Amino acid sequence: MTRSLLLASLLAATALATSSAHAAGDKEAGRLKTYTCHGCHGVPGYKNAYPNYHVPRIAGQHYEYLVAALKAYQTGDRDHPTMRAQGESLSAQDIEDIAAYLAGLAP
């Protein structure tokens, strides 16, 4: 009994691990992870509140574009101090989740 329960939970864990490995990113996780991004990217008119500067629209961008942009900030290929600081705190999984969430939004 204990053995088969153990086997069943092992199988379930494997199934979970496999399915998340194939997913391109988890939208729900991405929604939570973009919480801090809205302070700059979610404002009406796409201007940061203070200091007042233009911020690009990221909602509804292509998934691949978002992943590439975030990785470029992370590695320093795209040099912008603010976004570099954002990118440095993200894992590869965070980037995929965030891109999946943002790509699914209406532009």
Contact residues toward ligand HEC (CB under 6 A) are 34, 36-37, 39-41, 48, 55-56, 58, 66, 69-70, 78, 80, 82-83, 86, 98
Tokens 């991405």 correspond to 30
The structure tokens listed for 28 are 């729900």
Instruction: Give the other-Cβ count within 10 Å of 95's Cβ.
Output: 22
Which one, 8 or 105, has the nearer CB to ligand HEC? 105
Q: How far is the CB of 20 from ligand HEC (least distance, A)?
A: 20
Which one, 86 or 96, has the nearer CB to ligand HEC? 86
| Residue 71 to residue 39: CA distance in whole angstroms | 20
